Amino acid sequence: MIHTNYLIIGSGIAGLTFAIKIADLFPDKKVTIITKASADESNTKYAQGGIAIVTNETEDSYQKHIEDTLICGDGLCNIDAVKMVVTEGPERLKELIAWGAKFDTNSKGTFDLGKEGGHSQNRVVHHKDQTGFEIERAILEQVYQKENITVLDHHFTLDLITENNRCLGAYALNQKINKIVTFQSEYTLLATGGIGHLYGHTTNPVIATGDGIAMASRINAVIKDMEFIQFHPTALYEDTAGSAFLISEAVRGFGAYLRTKNGYRFMLDYDQREELASRDVVSQSIDMELKKSGDKCVYLDCTHLDIEAFTKHFPMIYERCKSIGIDIAKDWIPVVPAQHYLCGGIVVDKHGKTSIENLFACGECSQTGLHGANRLASNSLLEALVYSDKIYNYLSKASLKNQDAINLISNWIVLDKPEVNLNFINTKKAALQLLMRQNAGIVRNNIDLLNAKEQLLQWQNELDHLSKTHQINIALWELQNMIIVGYLIAQDSIRRNDNRGGFMKV
């Protein structure tokens, strides 16, 4: 049994920034971060584009950023959440800089602001094309300097502990010694990131299996808007399954064109904003073009751009393309939409509180109302920073109450049970990913969704039985979590009858 005052599940920007602030405020309190991989492995790390923040009020304004967000969200944003997040952005950026994060500047010494799809102004603060990596580096450095923060990597959270609609902590498997650990905490924060590997073809790292949302679902927390899944229009096309390399939105902001294999600039047919239309529009347009042509990908043309400037702005993208034989100066980049972000999730209020007492959620696993039906590019890191601060402010005034000791669920000690067959899990996971891509992808229909829902329920029952008769296995647990999330996506997709933002049903 491990007692802690604040338990944080996940080690991305949302969880880490909260940990730093609460540890500074209460140096005598214990803050514990548990994460299923290494501490620096999160969706934050892979965020290329940057953070959308109004830093130049001469050319930009809060109102413009608010309007861009509302337009992108297609009528389903919570306007109060949008105003709050946009207006508090500059203060959160100052904190990141104070913690040591570095962002690109121009010859005048001001921020080198990028422009991405859906934005009316240049407002994306970035560190080359590795913004998330730079932020993760800086804030982890701060975390490790705090004596009252404990970071436990390779601890897979199995389930939340609740009593009378109140969260008391969590059970986690210490993967290093294969032992279940009970964490008892006054307050618990879910900062578990996204769901990308439910689809297989995704820009997310392999850890993105929807664990936090599945755990919240099992304790009946309110979850909504799961149908709004954002597909990034331009993932590097490689004829393999698994995590896809992201070709940042900022490349199109830099002036790249989308073309068919015959060289036709098809975005002119779909939206007056052309390549800088919002992600939902570009992804759906590419999907339609591919269905018309039968091709496997479209192409991003950068050959007309200043290659020296391109290489300076996007060194990681340039090197990745070069490593697979693509010379950006003369070759087009093959791209295809890939699952990128979930706009729905665990419902929280303006303080990050879920419907379960003492349980908070932040980052991609939460539903704040900011994104509505479709997330505006580079608003995700901004949202995580602002809501992490809101949770901190709320809990800075909340009293800590001692809780009665809780006991480990004894039937989870399963060392005497047989091991699950990994080939079975891998086969089932591949089938799940194919089902989600085909039946709950960019464009959906009710027949496919109903079939998916029935299949997911069948798999859920099958794996529930398997988990009770076999040893605890992380791959099996992740698969169960993904199936739960898939069921929620299918269910919410069936319920929605109007096409909004990232959701299209025919």
Active site amino acids: 279
Torsions phi, psi for 195 (to 5 deg) = -130, 15
**Which residues are CB-contacts of 55 (< 8 A; sequence separation ≥ 6)?**
90, 93, 110, 111, 113, 123, 125
- Name the one residue in this structure whose structure tokens are 């297989």: 200
Name the residue among 342, 347, 386 with its Cα closest to residue 364: 342
Burial of 304 (0-12, 13-18, 19+ CB in 10 A): exposed
Cα separation, 94 vs 259, in Å, equals: 39
Strands (E), 77-217: 124-125, 149-152, 155-163, 166-174, 179-190
Name the residue among 303, 217, 213 with its Cα closest to residue 263: 303
Measured from the Cβ of residue 422, the count of other Cβ atoms closer than 10 Å reads 11
Cα separation, 296 vs 404, in Å, equals: 58
- Assign 213 to helix, strand or coil: helix
